[in-house]
Amino acid sequence: MLNAAQNIQSSLSKCAAAGWDTVSLTTKAVSIWRDIDTALAPIVGHRGVAALFGRCFHLIRADYPWLAPPHESSGDRIDFASLQSMLSQQTSANVVALNDALLRKFSALLSNLIGVSLAERLLRPVVDIHSTGDAA
């Protein structure tokens, strides 16, 4: 897994360890994916980010039977409202586990697409945003 993705996930895990409730963890997880979308859209487009995200859902779905497929109303962007709704119905542990699995798959697919070095550079702003001591 990319260092950037590990650092991003670490911030969510620290929040869970600090006792954040499911709603707060869900909000943070969705914020992470919004920031990833913003960081990568100039390179692969919002549609490309949504396609990678959707592929990740497909690849990890067998490991998470409660996982609903993302709604693809337009296919141009990640459906953040559906993601928020789906995650908010889960336990804190499920939110953290799913986000970890999604980040792992996403970073692997992204690295295969554009290379590890560029993926790390593009995700660096997301790491910076989400590792500012939110769990404190």
Question: Considering the chain, what percentage of its residues have pLDDT values greater than 70?
Answer: 89
**Cα–Cα dist 59/50, whole Å:** 14
Residue 31 has pLDDT above 90, yes or no: yes
* Residue 120 domain-assigned (yes or no): yes
Please indicate, yes or no, if residue 20 is contained in any of the structural domains.
Answer: yes
Supply 112's token pair. Answer: 């295969």
Q: Lowest mean pLDDT: which of 21-35, 44-58, 74-88, 89-103?
A: 74-88
Does the residue 54 lie in any domain?
yes
In a domain, 135, yes or no: no
Q: Two tokens at 114?
A: 């554009």
Q: What is the average per-residue pLDDT within 85-97?
A: 94
Does position 132 have pLDDT exceeding 90, yes or no? no
Mean pLDDT of 46-71: 86
28, 19 Cβ separation under 8 angstroms? no
- State the pTM of this model: 0.88
- Computed on alpha carbons and rounded to an integer, the radius of gyration of the chain in Å comes to 14
Residue 49 domain-assigned (yes or no):
yes
Can you tell me the mean pLDDT for 106-131?
Answer: 91
Q: Does 70 have pLDDT greater than 70?
A: no
Q: Is residue 136 part of a domain?
A: no
Number of domains in the chain: 1
Mean pLDDT of the chain: 88
DSSP state of 72: -
C-alpha–C-alpha distance, residues 95 and 45, integer Å: 26
* pLDDT score at 136: 42
Q: For residue 71, what is the DSSP state?
A: P
Q: What is the pLDDT of residue 130?
A: 87
Residue 98 lies in a domain: yes
Q: Who wins on pLDDT, 1 or 96?
A: 96
Q: Which two tokens stand for residue 69?
A: 């497929």
Question: Quick one: pLDDT at residue 135?
Answer: 44
Which residues span the domain enclosing 33?
Answer: 3-130
Residue 73 has pLDDT above 70, yes or no: no
